[in-house]
Amino acid sequence: MNKYNQIINLLWHPALENEFNTASVERKIVRVYNPNLVMIEQSYKSWFGGRQKYFYALAAKFDISEEKTIIVMTSPNINDHNPSEKKYKNTIIESANLFKTVIDSNIFIRNGRWKKKFVNIAGYILEKTHAYIDITYLESIDGHTSNYEDLINVRYLNKFFHYNKKWVV
């Protein structure tokens, strides 16, 4: 398998957040619609303390061409039995609001101990060039800001591929 496909598989793997994120993060697949479309639950607690936060998101992987792949996630209209009165609406991917489902959530969500967040859009665009793999990351998550340097840290990716320099295709 070439490095391009290894990177795609790494970024598509649900345990990725556990490797890259410095906060206490747990991500799990709660539904599989097909191998390239899943529903995930991600929960996290910042290192500043505070309440545990979580979101549900549809995650999809699209091979646009042999040289370009998109991995994207967005929160649809989910009834997870959180008692919060706050209404969540996807303001970027409006069609995600049409996807409605019920999730059998954990007791911490049902009793309101975890704070719900909402992913408008987040994901990667990977493009293989003649000399390297270009990775673009995008995110818009309600009430959440990431440190972009921690999102894709070459040091962590090098750990997976045993390189000390930029990937060569």
Per residue in 68-99, pLDDT (tens digit) is 999 999 999 999 999 988 888 888 888 998 99
Is 163 contained in some domain? no
Range of the domain at 80: 3-158
- Confidence band for 166, pLDDT divided at 50, 70 and 90: very low
pLDDT in tens, 105-153: 999 999 999 999 999 999 999 999 888 899 998 888 876 555 555 555 5
Is 166 contained in some domain? no
Q: Which residues contact 5 (CB under 8 A, 6 or more apart)?
A: none
Is 165 contained in some domain? no
Residue type, 62: F
Give the CATH number, domain containing residue 135. Answer: 3.30.530.20
Task: Specify the pLDDT at position 98.
Answer: 92
What is the C-alpha to C-alpha distance for residues 77 and 99, in angstroms, rounded to an integer? 6
